[in-house]
Structure 1
Amino acid sequence: MPARERVGIAGTDRVLLPVRWLAVVLLPFLLIAAGILILLPARVADLFAWPIEPPITGMILGAAYLGGIVYFAGVLFTAEWHRVRRGLLPVFVFSSLLGIATALHADRFTPNLSFVVWSVLYATTPFLIAAAAVAQRSADPGTPASRETIIPAPVAWTLVVVGGIATLTGLTMFVSPAAFIGVWGWDLTPLTARTLGAILSLTGFVNASMIIDRRWTSFRILYAAQLVSIAFVLTAIWVGRADVQWERPAAWGFVALLVMALGCYGGLAVWAERRMRRAARAGERAVDRQA
């Protein structure tokens, strides 16, 4: 983007049209993939880019896509850039890891149209996300919204630690998938282990931004996406519980981490939303008094 245009958006907090169009392009693919993986698990081998066994892993990938739908819908419809800015890094990491996994395990994929689409998306999305980050980098004014809730530092650091545990587990799983095969809560292959690793890495990269930005409005959409995703992951585990090997500690550890994350993220969202509503009511009363 020319330097003049970059200066033109500095501090405006607006989302550039090309970034909205990126959301328009990605949303249909996320919807289709989530629909196949969650609603048609028995047809994954025929309709998706690769057969995923057991189906629980495919449903968890679908749950991650549902979170992506919530996020990119936010990119498309939100009026303020800072509300979705912090999602770019997690999406970049997730898409990059799946792109690498595709290259490492190309022999596991089905040579069909879905694989062509999958390959194109994961070969290009990291670069498109990086371009969006560069184009928008000066748009966020970095100041609290008119009615803002600031996440307390202890809460922010707690969430950074919770997300860091998930991300450390995910990246370790991605780098050394063989170490998790045979000990995870259900059967894995190197490709499905790396896929789960990419999914687990998401939350830590979301929460890490709280080190430098504790505005609730910067995380409101992202936490809605995470809560949707976590809820559907837990649902996937319940639906696929027959494939879970509950005698393995990793099964219970994974569920415990999900429940902890759901409680922490949900609790923060409820607390922050209540504070924002109280601030809004106080503002309305102040206007009424002045009138």
Structure 2
Amino acid sequence: MARLNAAPDDEALAALREVCASTAWAHALLARRPYATADDLLAAGDSATGELDGADLDEAMAGHPPIGRPRPGDPASAREQRGMADASDALRAEMLDLNLAYQERFGHVFLICATGASAEDMRDALRTRLGHPPEREREIARAELGRINRIRLARLATIVTDGTGHEPEEEEAVQEPEPLTEATGQEQSAAAPASVSTHILDTSLGRPAAGVPVTLAALGEGPGARWTALGGARTDGDGRCKELPALPAGTVRVRLDFETDPYLTAKNADGDDGSDDGGAPFFPEVTVAFRVRPGRHYHVPLLLNPFGYSVYRGS
């Protein structure tokens, strides 16, 4: 505490910006020095967090990496996200998809005080919060930011710094979780056909879309090649389509056809979806075509809502 109080403004400001990326927040705490006790410092932090306006709150949240993706050289986020260290590849992939859906819906990173939380805890919270109205979710994110700031401030009040506002060198050696790779498991032979998987997340509800028919077609090489329908399956309770047919050798393009009409019709049967045609889905089907290469796996999720959708290459 004494060192924070006595540090030159630039050093103290750098240390505070390591706690919270908001410039306004850091300057507010800087202006209130000296602090008699750690409790005084925490109270000042709480007050400054509550006073952040829209742009300042956005700046603060932008300083946090997505769950499961701590930034290289950022010991704080790596330490706080240790609950993801033992997460399975499937859970990591699900978190990636949910994070993307969250950012698409709310326009900012999913923020949660991850200290002490398991990967499953964070996944469940993310699923729940995807269904919140934007105004409510923003205040929840502010509260989570406040919790994170308190933990980091308490640490700042007790750690020995090197005079630059950074933690000791050994803290920066925290190992990060292994990044997701393009393949889903064992290295695949370059001679083997490509493989494809998908799942559907209903971003308007923040949960998987179950029971949606998905069909698969393949296109081979050559000027006379034609699309060949291979069959399909329905998404399960997790929104995943686990029974898609295998691709034949020589496939260079793949097409996924999502029959979204039955799912959206059932969802909008009460007609309160804002449409002017009795709740009939605006997008009764979604077709996605993409290139593939032999020996590689392609996971192509669909993020769906009644009036829009997006697809991307996942992991």
Would you say same fold, with TM above 0.5? no
Higher relative contact order (CA 8 A, sep 6+): 1
Between structure 1 and structure 2, the one with the greater Rg is 2
- TM-score norm. by structure 1 comes to 0.20
- TM-score norm. by structure 2 comes to 0.19
In terms of fraction of residues, the more strand-rich structure is 2
In terms of fraction of residues, the more helix-rich structure is 1
